[in-house]
Chains A and B, each alone.
Chain A
Amino acid sequence: MKKYRGLIFVLPVIILVLFIVVLPIITMLNNSLRDVRFGFEKNPAFTGLKNYLDLLEDETFIDSIGKSFLWTAENLLIQLTVPLLLALLLNRKGRFYQFVRSVLLIPWILPMVVVSIVWRWLLEPNIGYVNYLIKGLGLPLVNFLGSTSLAFHILVLINSWHFIPFGTILMLAALSTIPTSLYDAAKVDGANSFRRLIHITFPLIGRIIWFVGLLAFMWSFNTFDLIWLTTQGGPANSTMTLPTYIYKLAFKTYEAGRASAAALISTLILIGVAVIYFIVFTPREKKGVA
Chain B
Amino acid sequence: MRKFVILLVLLTALPLVILGTTTIVFWHHEAPAHRVAAFQKIINLFQKENPDIKVIQQVVPWGDAWTKTLAAIEAGTTPDFQFSLPELTITAYEANAIIPVDDIIQELDSKYQYVQSQLAPYKINGKYWGVPIWTMPMVLIYRPSILEQYLGTKEPPRTWNELLLAAQKITLLSSEKGDTIYGIGLTAGNNLCTQEQVYTIMANLGVKFFDEKGNLTFNSPQTLRAVEFYKDLYMFSPPGSTGWAWGEIEMNFSAGKIAMMPYFGGLQKRFYDLENYDLDAVIQPYPIDGVEGNLIYPNDVHIFKSAVEKGHLEAVKKFLIFIMRPDINAILTAQMEPGSFVPVTKAAQESEYYWNDPIIKAFRHMNEVIIEATNYGTLYGFETGSAVNLAIGSISGANTLAEMIQNVVTNKMGVVDAVKWAEEKMESFMK
Q: Which residues of A are in contact with B by a Cβ distance under 8 Å?
A: 38-40, 120, 124-127, 141, 143-148, 151, 230-237, 248, 251-254
A145 and B257 form a contact (CB under 8 A): no
Complexed CA–CA distance, A276 and B386 (Å):
56
Q: Chain B residues with Cβ under 8 A from A120's Cβ?
A: 243
CB distance from A37 to the nearest CB of B (A): 8
- A254 CA to B239 CA, complexed, in Å: 32
Whether A234 and B240, one on each chain, are in contact in the complex, defined by CB atoms closer than 8 angstroms, is no
Residues of B near A253 (CB, < 8 A) are: 394, 397-398, 429
- For chain B, residues 307 to 321, give those with C-beta under 8 angstroms from any C-beta of chain A: none
Binary contact readout B398-427 vs A (1 if CB under 8 angstroms, 0 otherwise): 110001001100101000000000000000
B248 at the interface (CB under 8 A from A): yes
Cβ–Cβ < 8 Å partners of A252 in chain B: 397-399
Known: A124-B240, A126-B257, A141-B239. A234 touches B394 (CB 8 A): no
Indicate if B79 sits at the interface (CB-CB under 8 A): no
Q: Is the CB of A146 within 8 A of B241?
A: yes
**CB < 8 Å: which of B74, B242, B399, B412 contacts A40?**
B74
Beyond A146-B243, A151-B243, A253-B398, whether A127 also contacts B255 by CB under 8 A is yes
- CB neighbours (8 Å) of A254 from chain B are 66, 91, 393-394, 397
Across the interface, do B70 and A251 meet the contact criterion of CB distance under 8 Å?
Answer: no
**A234 x B406 contact (CB < 8 A):** yes
- Chain B residues numbered 230-268 whose CB sits less than 8 Å from any CB in chain A: 238-244, 248, 251-252, 255, 257
Contact residues in B for A235 (Cβ distance below 8 Å)? 188-190, 242-243, 406, 410
A145-B240, A232-B189, A248-B398 known; A124 and B410 CB under 8 Å? no
A10 to B429 alpha-carbon distance, docked (Å): 47
Complex contacts, B110 vs chain A, CB 8 Å: none
With A40-B74, A235-B243 in contact, do A148 and B252 touch (Cβ < 8 Å)?
Answer: no
Taking CB as reference atom, which chain B residue is nearest A140? B239
Contacting pair B191 A232 (CB below 8 A): yes
A residues less than 8 Å from B45 (CB atoms): none
Residues of chain B contacted by A38 (CB below 8 angstroms)? 70, 95
A253 and B180 alpha carbons, distance in the complex (Å):
38
- Shortest B392–chain A CB gap in Å is 13
- Whether A234 pairs with B71 at a CB distance below 8 angstroms is no
- Chain A residues contacting B238 (CB-CB under 8 Å) are 125-126
A230 to B66, CA, bound (A): 22
Complex Cα gap A248–B400 (Å)? 12
CA distance A101 to B91 in the complex (A): 52
Can you give 28 contacting A-B residue pairs, CB < 8 Å?
Answer: A124-B248, A125-B238, A125-B239, A126-B240, A126-B252, A126-B255, A127-B251, A127-B255, A141-B239, A143-B239, A143-B242, A144-B240, A145-B243, A146-B244, A147-B242, A148-B410, A235-B190, A236-B403, A236-B406, A236-B407, A236-B410, A251-B66, A252-B398, A253-B394, A253-B397, A253-B429, A254-B66, A254-B394
Task: Determine chain B's interface SS by DSSP, over half rule.
Answer: helix
Give the nearest-CB partner of A41 in chain B.
B74
Question: Which 10 A/B pairs are nearest by Cβ-Cβ distance?
Answer: A125-B240, A146-B242, A146-B243, A234-B190, A253-B398, A235-B242, A145-B243, A236-B412, A236-B410, A146-B240
Q: Cβ of B190 and Cβ of A251 under 8 Å apart?
A: no
User: Is B67 at the interface (CB under 8 A from chain A)?
Assistant: yes
CA A231 – CA B240 in complex, angstroms?
12
Chain B residues engaging chain A, CB cutoff 8 angstroms:
66-67, 70-71, 74, 91, 95, 180, 188-191, 238-244, 248, 251-252, 255, 257, 393-394, 397-399, 403, 406-407, 410, 412, 429
Point out the residues of chain B lying under 8 angstroms from A237, CB to CB: 403
Residues of A within 8 A of B91 (CB): 254
* B180 proximity list for chain A (CB < 8 A): 126, 141
Shortest CB distance A29–B (Å): 20
Q: Residues of B contacting A232 with CB < 8 Å?
A: 189-191
CA distance A223 to B407 in the complex (A): 24
Q: Which of A39, A233, A254 has the most CB of B within 10 A?
A: A254
Contacts of B251 in A (CB 8 A): 124, 127
Instruction: Point out which of A124, A126, A143, A251 has the most chain B C-beta atoms below 10 A from its C-beta.
Output: A126
Q: A235-B188, A253-B397, A254-B397 are in contact. Are A146 and B66 (CB under 8 A)?
A: no
Please indicate the chain A residues that have their CB under 8 angstroms from the CB of B241 in the complex: 146
Q: In whole angstroms, what is the CA distance A210 to B272 when docked?
A: 58
Contact of B242 among A230, A234, A248, A251 (CB under 8 A): A234
In the assembled complex, the Cα of A233 lies from the Cα of B399 at a distance in Å of 12
Interchain nearest-CB distance for A125 vs B (Å)? 3
CA–CA, A144 and B239, complex, Å: 10
Count chain A CB atoms within 10 A of each CB in B240, B241, B248, B410 and give the residue with the most.
Answer: B240
Q: In the docked arrangement, what's the CA distance between A125 and B70, Å? A: 39
The CA-CA distance from A252 to B394 in the complex, in Å, is 7
B418 to chain A, nearest CB (A): 10
Per the bound structure, the CA–CA distance linking A278 and B358 in Å amounts to 68
A65 to B180, CA, bound (A): 39
| Chain B residue with the shortest CB-CB distance to A253 | B398
